[in-house]
Chains A and B, each alone.
Chain A
Amino acid sequence: MTERTGFPSAYDLPTPAGAENWRDLYPYYLLFQDNRRAEEDGKFWFCDSQHWPNPFKPFDAVTVEFAVKCLGQYNTRHYLVPPANGVDFRIHNGYVYMSPVSVAPEDIGARVPQFMDRAGHYFANWQELLDKWLVKVKANIAEMEALTFEDLPETVPEEWVKGGFGIDNTVPLSEAYDRAIQLLYRTWNYHFEFLNLGYAAYLDFFGFMKSQFPTVSDQSIAQMVQGIDSDLFRPDDELKALAKLAVSSGVAENLSAGTVDQVLAAMNKTDAGRAWVAAWEAAKDPWFNFTSGNGFYSDDQYWIEHLDIPLGYIRDYAVRAAAGETIDRPTVEIAAERDRITAEYRELLDPKARAGFDGKLGLARTVFPYVENHNFYIEHWSMSVFWRKMRELSAIFHRAGFWENEDDMFFLDRNEVRDAIFDLGMGWGVGAPATGPSFWPAEIARRRATLTALQSTPPQPALNTPPEVITEPFTIMLWGITTDAVKKWLSGSSDGNRLEGMAASPGVVEGRARVIRSASELSQIEEGEILVTPVTAPSWAPVFGKIKATVTDIGGMMSHAAIVCREYGLPAVTGTGTASSTIQTGQMLRVDGTTGEVIILSAA
């Protein structure tokens, strides 16, 4: 394999055939502009395929924009992290590329006292501020939930006229949309309010452990810090409780009655069944605001709108529970193991280092619940409500003939939606057909074809020349972009039957591979198989009871997928790069989640 020293420039990458106009899909400020080539090529950009594994629709770029801006902003403008500003980002060929912005050495010192003051305030008042955060986030969600999107009526309501309101129905429609986008922006501000600091505290403990024990595994460090009961596991815990309730109250057979409606009808015939339905309804809010995707895409499916998904999991759990199997997470064992390894590593330390260990581990454990929990409140619950509202709006346009498919609004970017609202209102207001119906269908068809073409080509792992050494802490922690990872991309080596990745969750198992490319294929998984997939999501947890291990293409040690696997005691190797395209369903694998090694033992 030829040894590369750098990655291609975005400006030299060929455009996938059929996607020639892809730049029309995204805003100007997110594109590599021709007249900035020298400047842009002077920076190293890495592809974030962890959060955005597929090219995204124009509207979906809003999650890229809001998330990545807010992430960096906390470093640059809120807490003034001394060596690190934000992360600049561009879209190219439908994928996101990021470039950490460092602070000029001469400016670092001045930021220290400000960081100590601002971040110090958060560390010193963590729980109190976190309690406030939860109130803020729930209020934000409630406000989004309360937004209404309605078809423009035939006439302005009589009450409005006689009541002397003096406004028309496009006013609440456009205000609701603008408010939704504003609330979405606040959602992403809240997402990062604690996260950067949480990672910094974790990094402090992490660095300390590596200094004392250079060979200690990343995974052991993560195990010592990780929590036991996270809100991220609550949705799955609710499913298990419902399964056990069905079995214990003798109504489990109703779960096989057919569709969701048929199951509920069967349940409602008896008192015990009705009690079960009440428990089901209670669990939905908020715990079914949970996606099998990652929350960043408009087509992510949420349990609350696809009740067959959670019901299917409940049915599987009930079968296993009825057979006498333990379906609960091994929380007692996980907690015991965490405490054991913590005590053992502490004992191996020089006595003078123990106070440092206690202090740093203590802070890391204080901040870690947020690192896990925020994912449920933001990517799952908040985004669930947001996408639902946007689909309501899209349906209004659909009914007005603007596009062929109910969800086609997502082919417009967020600013074009404002234009479309005005267009719709203009037609309604003047009494002549809006332009949309004769404009958007063809434009959307063009964009759909462009996106399909973009999807045919995987992204480059990075662009331009990497720095000698990766030093920016969040680049390393969040994305696992390290000097070694970059070297691996450059050499692009592969050893036939052996794949290497992140040792995300300990344990060694052998079993048959099941390659899944999307959440819709989850039902294909059979008992005892090893799941191989581009990326998993926390909401896939209900299948974790069936499988022996997971192997993914992407995802670092701190990815939610890795966290969940550790909490479920399921061996996992993440970040292999190519597992889902190399391994075939049916092959026998040996997965070592302790060392990060996957071996293909035999043919399919």
Chain B
Amino acid sequence: MNAIANMIDPHFILPFHTASETDHPRMGGKCASLSRMIALGAPVPGGFAVATDAYAAHLCADGLERAICAELDGLDTGDVADTEARADRIRQLVTERAMPAPVEAAIRAAYAVIAPGNDLPVAVRSSATAEDLPDASFAGQQDTFLWVIGADEVVTHVRACWASLFTARAISYRADQGLGQIEVLMSVAVQEMVDARSSGVAMTLDPINGDRTKIVIDASWGLGESLVSGEVTPDNFTVEKVLMQVQKRKISDKHHETVADSAARCTISRPVDGDRRNIPSLTDEEVIAVAQLARRLEKATGTPQDVEWAIDRQGRLMALQSRPETVWSQKKPVIATFHTGIEGVIGTLMAPIQNKI
């Protein structure tokens, strides 16, 4: 085991649980946040980041970078078909070129550490360095691959993530925003998959009105994908943040779920059996546990968070992702001047309190 562990190449691979703050720029936003969550004691599925250096090495090898630049020369984002064609060709270049040997070896070795039997299902997710800026809410423009098994598949899907930097949409967005095309470096998260019984998102404020005393949780059966994609109307819970009390529950008809199918070795979307459709996908204790996890992350980062979480079939709660909330945190509240002492009292007496006390 030690021999294999020693093959972890810190130049290309950064395990989440050992990465330090200085490593974060090479891990991209998603991986850095996973690493931070672990450092904060949040339960996170194990894994590693394929560092930006790996992608940079791939770009440098065999003139790949030059070839990409050649394809981008004369790009007109207004010509949709042409942009699409260029994007297709670039992606082909990225996926068909073999990785530099040291990079591939590093990835295989890192996977072997977490998957000694070469059969641990992992999620392979892109973690671009520009993706999680609060202002740049274009998350999801790059790809995510679930249920990847075996070192060969991992290597293939890491390359696929790199390639997703060059979807037509991504290329156009960067061009229109004046961002560099090959300057955007990507890291890839390779993370143990959670066989989720329930999953969802938690926001450490009420998305309807920005109320910071609330944690609002959406939850559904299975993996979070069906919730995020909008296929299923999730259960919704509102928790008062300071008192940690469930204040509202809205249980929905959860007719579909995305689950891991171990036989088929992939995730499948299937109907939910009648009994489970309308029962809560979280017990009250679990709702509180999710809220407490989200609150911990909010406190540690100092800003409202949007947390993806899952509860596996053993009932273990895990954080999958945590990013700064993007909408309400941007709004500047109007703060009146507050008087204290007798001035404060007289101010209150003169302004009639009209409503329910």
Question: Taking beta carbons and an 8 Å cutoff, which residues of A are in contact with B?
Answer: 81-84, 108, 112, 115-116, 119-120, 123-124, 197, 200-201, 203-204, 206-208, 213-218, 220, 340-341, 344-345, 347-348, 350, 352-353, 355-360, 362-363, 469-471, 473, 476-477, 480, 482-485, 506, 557, 594-595
Are B357 and A360 in contact, CB atoms less than 8 angstroms apart? no
Among candidates A124, A344, A353, A471, residue contacting B353 with C-beta atoms closer than 8 Å: A471
CB proximity of B113 to chain A, nearest CB, Å:
40
As a 0/1 sequence over residues 233 to 249 of chain B, the CB contacts with chain A under 8 angstroms (1 = contact) are 00000001111010100
CA distance A123 to B343 in the complex (A): 11
Which B residues lie within 8 Å of A213 (CB)?
A: 211-213
As a 0/1 sequence over residues 307 to 344 of chain B, the CB contacts with chain A under 8 angstroms (1 = contact) are 00000000000000000000000000101001111111
Asked if B67 CB lies within 8 Å of chain A CBs, one says no
Which A residues lie within 8 Å of B245 (CB)?
A: 506, 594
Which A residues lie within 8 Å of B346 (CB)?
A: 82, 112, 115-116
Which A residues lie within 8 Å of B341 (CB)?
A: 120, 123, 359, 363
Asked if B250 CB lies within 8 Å of chain A CBs, one says no
Are A360 and B247 in contact, CB atoms less than 8 angstroms apart? no
Are A480 and B338 in contact, CB atoms less than 8 angstroms apart? no
Among candidates B214, B338, B349, B357, residue contacting A200 with C-beta atoms closer than 8 Å: B349
B332's nearest neighbour on chain A, judged by CB, is A350
Are B345 and A471 in contact, CB atoms less than 8 angstroms apart? no
Give the number of A-B contacts (CB < 8 Å). 122
Which B residues lie within 8 Å of A363 (CB)?
A: 340-341, 344-345
B295's nearest neighbour on chain A, judged by CB, is A344
Among candidates B333, B338, B352, B354, residue contacting A360 with C-beta atoms closer than 8 Å: B338
With A81-B349, A213-B212, A344-B242 in contact, do A470 and B340 touch (Cβ < 8 Å)?
no
Among candidates B211, B347, B353, residue contacting A476 with C-beta atoms closer than 8 Å: B353
Which A residues lie within 8 Å of B352 (CB)?
A: 83, 469, 471
Asked if B350 CB lies within 8 Å of chain A CBs, one says yes
Which A residues lie within 8 Å of B345 (CB)?
A: 119, 123, 197, 200-201, 203-204, 363
Q: Is the interface of A mostly helix, strand, loop or mixed?
A: helix
Are A482 and B342 in contact, CB atoms less than 8 angstroms apart? no
CB proximity of B209 to chain A, nearest CB, Å:
8
CB proximity of A297 to chain B, nearest CB, Å:
28
Which B residues lie within 8 Å of A215 (CB)?
A: 211, 213-214
Asked if B137 CB lies within 8 Å of chain A CBs, one says no
CB proximity of B288 to chain A, nearest CB, Å:
13
Which A residues lie within 8 Å of B243 (CB)?
A: 217, 220, 341, 506, 594
CA distance A116 to B346 in the complex (A): 8
Are B353 and A204 in contact, CB atoms less than 8 angstroms apart? no
Which A residues lie within 8 Å of B348 (CB)?
A: 200, 203-204, 207-208, 473
With A116-B346, A203-B348 in contact, do A360 and B211 touch (Cβ < 8 Å)?
no
B304's nearest neighbour on chain A, judged by CB, is A348
Are B353 and A116 in contact, CB atoms less than 8 angstroms apart? no
Q: A203-B353, A359-B344, A470-B354 are in contact. List 11 more A-B contacts (CB 8 A).
A: A82-B350, A108-B350, A213-B213, A217-B240, A218-B357, A353-B338, A359-B338, A363-B345, A482-B355, A483-B356, A484-B355
Are B338 and A483 in contact, CB atoms less than 8 angstroms apart? no
A84's nearest neighbour on chain B, judged by CB, is B349
Asked if B81 CB lies within 8 Å of chain A CBs, one says no
With A120-B342, A123-B342, A473-B349 in contact, do A348 and B355 touch (Cβ < 8 Å)?
no
B225-279: which residues lie under 8 A (CB-CB) from chain A?
Answer: 240-243, 245, 247
CB proximity of A368 to chain B, nearest CB, Å:
14
A557's nearest neighbour on chain B, judged by CB, is B357
Which B residues lie within 8 Å of A352 (CB)?
A: 335
Are B340 and A348 in contact, CB atoms less than 8 angstroms apart? no
Q: Which of B242, B351, B352, B354 has its CB near the most chain A CB atoms (within 10 A)?
A: B242
B334's nearest neighbour on chain A, judged by CB, is A350
Are A359 and B340 in contact, CB atoms less than 8 angstroms apart? yes
Are A477 and B340 in contact, CB atoms less than 8 angstroms apart? no
CA distance A43 to B161 in the complex (A): 75
CA distance A344 to B243 in the complex (A): 9
Are A356 and B357 in contact, CB atoms less than 8 angstroms apart? no
Which B residues lie within 8 Å of A344 (CB)?
A: 241-242
- What are the nearest 6 A-B pairs in CB distance? A359-B340, A356-B338, A471-B352, A484-B356, A204-B348, A120-B342
Among candidates B213, B342, B343, B353, residue contacting A348 with C-beta atoms closer than 8 Å: B213
B351's nearest neighbour on chain A, judged by CB, is A207
CA distance A347 to B342 in the complex (A): 25
CA distance A341 to B351 in the complex (A): 27
CB proximity of A122 to chain B, nearest CB, Å:
9
CA distance A493 to B296 in the complex (A): 42
A355's nearest neighbour on chain B, judged by CB, is B338
CA distance A206 to B211 in the complex (A): 18
Are B357 and A595 in contact, CB atoms less than 8 angstroms apart? no
Are A83 and B335 in contact, CB atoms less than 8 angstroms apart? no
Are B354 and A220 in contact, CB atoms less than 8 angstroms apart? no
Are B340 and A480 in contact, CB atoms less than 8 angstroms apart? no
Are A83 and B342 in contact, CB atoms less than 8 angstroms apart? no
Which B residues lie within 8 Å of A115 (CB)?
A: 346, 349
CB proximity of A555 to chain B, nearest CB, Å:
14
Q: Can you list 9 A-B contacts with CB-CB less than 8 angstroms, sorted by A residue number?
A: A83-B349, A83-B352, A203-B345, A204-B344, A208-B344, A208-B348, A352-B335, A506-B243, A594-B243
Which A residues lie within 8 Å of B212 (CB)?
A: 213, 348
With A214-B211, A469-B354 in contact, do A353 and B349 touch (Cβ < 8 Å)?
no
